Structure 1
């Protein structure tokens, strides 16, 4: 579960990248975070993950206060950034082994989980290749595998399907659905409104740092569609 309480962040004196944003993301929920370029999505996610600190407000993840207990808060979620940067000379297998060690996953359990994830993401045949030889989509997959390896209760994804081919996108969507079914939380930003409308339980729309709406996707479909709502709230 994620609780965001009145967070604000500015990079310039006269402009807020995020303006007093508050919302709660529930356990077992797929939550889409939407907005145009420069709306404040990535800044919000960097605050959620503790990469940057807000000017005011706070974040609690799985009951851990990001300000008071940042190490426990960060250890309780998995994160895949919009730009995946991993040491290019090591193999995917070596990277996953390293992540297992960092998060204290027992070796026997780690080997089992890596094999399962590699099969799910169709990475078994390239797992021992250097990451520098991977395509963008393969790097996204290995980063997601690393985030899932230690079985966090919250998964935070910044534009996870950017650059993925259609088959990889389908795998990704199914992974998110299965992960949420197990009682976990998926929070992800995306520009692909059709995907958000189909798989999210709720979505939030942000524009110019201001949270415009948090709404169940089923309620959107009762009246219109997500594309029309998005344009209505962000066109100005």
Structure 2
């Protein structure tokens, strides 16, 4: 579960990138976080993950306050950032073991998880190569694998399908559904509205730092009676702002 209460962020003391945001992402759901560029999505995700501090408000991951107990809260989630270009000089297997070390994953457990994830993402033959030799899509896959190595209850994914081939994208969506159906939490941001429409249980639309809508797609359709697709509803909502 992810809870945000009256969360705001300002970088200059006057203009708010995120303004009094309230959000509750429940266990057992895939929650889509949508908004145009500069809407406040990445700022919100960085506050949830503890990369930056909120100016005011409270953020909890599985009832642990990210600002008061950051290490405990960070053990609860796995975070896929919007750029996979990191630790490029490490080999794939070195990076996965590094991530497993951070989260104290036992040797026998990590070995099995690495094997399963590598098989699922088609990365078995690439683990002994340096990450800098990977394509963008392969880098994205190794980052996702590293995030999942400690089997976190909460997944926080910032544009996770960028650069993935159709098969890998399908596999990730399948894994997201499996994770949520097991009673866990998945929060992801995306620009691909068709993906959100197909897999999300609920969505929130943010623009100019404020939540314009939060709920199911059927609830949104009830509000926008003349709009059939999420894309049309999204455009109508954000353009009116």
| TM tier relative to shorter chain | over 0.9
Residues 184-229 of structure 1: per-residue CA shift (max 9 Å, x gap): 1110000000100100000000001011010112434565321122
Corresponding residue for residue 163 of structure 2: 163
> Using the alignment, how far apart are the partners of 1:118 and 1:231 within structure 2?
38
> Using the alignment, how far apart are the partners of 1:119 and 1:55 within structure 2?
43
- 1:232 Cα deviation from its structure 2 partner: 1.7
**So what's the TM-score if we normalise by structure 1?**
0.96
> Using the alignment, how far apart are the partners of 2:25 and 2:151 within structure 1?
18
Residue range with higher mean Cα deviation, 35-44 or 101-110:
101-110
Q: Equivalences for 1:145-224 in 2 at 5 Å?
A: 145-220=145-220, 223=225, 224=228
Corresponding residue for residue 84 of structure 2: 84
Residue range with higher mean Cα deviation, 79-88 or 106-115:
79-88
Residue range with higher mean Cα deviation, 219-228 or 22-31:
219-228
Partner of 2:60: helix, strand, or coil?
A: strand
Q: Equivalences for 1:22-33 in 2 at 5 Å?
A: 22-33=22-33
Corresponding residue for residue 228 of structure 1: 232
Partner of 2:234: helix, strand, or coil?
A: helix
> Using the alignment, how far apart are the partners of 1:89 and 1:206 within structure 2?
37
> Using the alignment, how far apart are the partners of 1:13 and 1:185 within structure 2?
33
- 1:115 Cα deviation from its structure 2 partner: 0.1
> Using the alignment, how far apart are the partners of 2:126 and 2:221 within structure 1?
41
> Using the alignment, how far apart are the partners of 1:99 and 1:226 within structure 2?
37
Residues 77-118 of structure 1: per-residue CA shift (max 9 Å, x gap): 000000123221211111111111111111011100100000
- 1:183 Cα deviation from its structure 2 partner: 1.4
Partner of 2:72: helix, strand, or coil?
A: helix
**So what's the TM-score if we normalise by structure 2?**
0.94
Q: Which runs of 5+ in 1 are unaligned?
A: none
Partner of 2:129: helix, strand, or coil?
A: coil
Partner of 2:11: helix, strand, or coil?
A: strand
Corresponding residue for residue 37 of structure 1: 37
Corresponding residue for residue 141 of structure 1: 141
> Using the alignment, how far apart are the partners of 1:180 and 1:68 within structure 2?
27
> Using the alignment, how far apart are the partners of 1:219 and 1:168 within structure 2?
31
Matched, 1:130 2:134: no
- The count of residues paired between Structure 1 and Structure 2 equals 236
> Using the alignment, how far apart are the partners of 1:221 and 1:128 within structure 2?
49
- 1:161 Cα deviation from its structure 2 partner: 1.0
Residues 108-147 of structure 1: per-residue CA shift (max 9 Å, x gap): 1110010000011111111111111111111111111111
Q: Which runs of 5+ in 2 are unaligned?
A: none
Residue range with higher mean Cα deviation, 193-202 or 89-98:
89-98
RMSD over aligned CA atoms reads 1.3
